[in-house]
């Protein structure tokens, strides 16, 4: 469990570093988020670095509508 948490933290730090390079230190950013694990992790990593985020919910039509709407509400 601890190794998994450390790996996740290392990946989040890498995401934030890459984002800072791409935006030359930080800029308002749109994060497309379906509510799944990967896009939620991206959202949380960037949220730790800036408050200038806009979240766009994406529905992939791969799960039942009720689940997609619950994910939308979770990331709103």
22-33 pLDDT, tens digit each = 988 778 889 888
Which three-class secondary structure string do you get for the chain? Answer: CHHHHHHHHHHHHHHHHHHHHHCCCCCCEEEEECCCHHHHHHHHHHHCCCCCEEEEECCCCCCCHHHHHHHHHHHC
Q: Can you give the pTM of this predicted structure?
A: 0.69
Q: How many domains does the chain have?
A: 1
CB 31 within 8 A of CB 53: yes
Give the pLDDT of residue 2.
53
42-60 pLDDT, tens digit each = 888 888 888 888 888 877 7
Which residues form the domain of 24? 2-75
């Amino acid at each position: 469990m601890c190794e998994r948490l450390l790996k996740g933290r290392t990946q989040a730090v890498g995401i934030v570093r890459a984002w800072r390079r791409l935006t030359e230190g930080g800029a308002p950013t749109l994060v497309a988020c379906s509510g799944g694990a990967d896009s939620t992790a991206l959202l949380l990593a960037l949220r730790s670095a800036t408050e200038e985020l806009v979240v766009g919910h994406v529905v992939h039509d791969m799960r039942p509508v009720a689940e997609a709407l619950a994910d939308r509400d979770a990331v709103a």
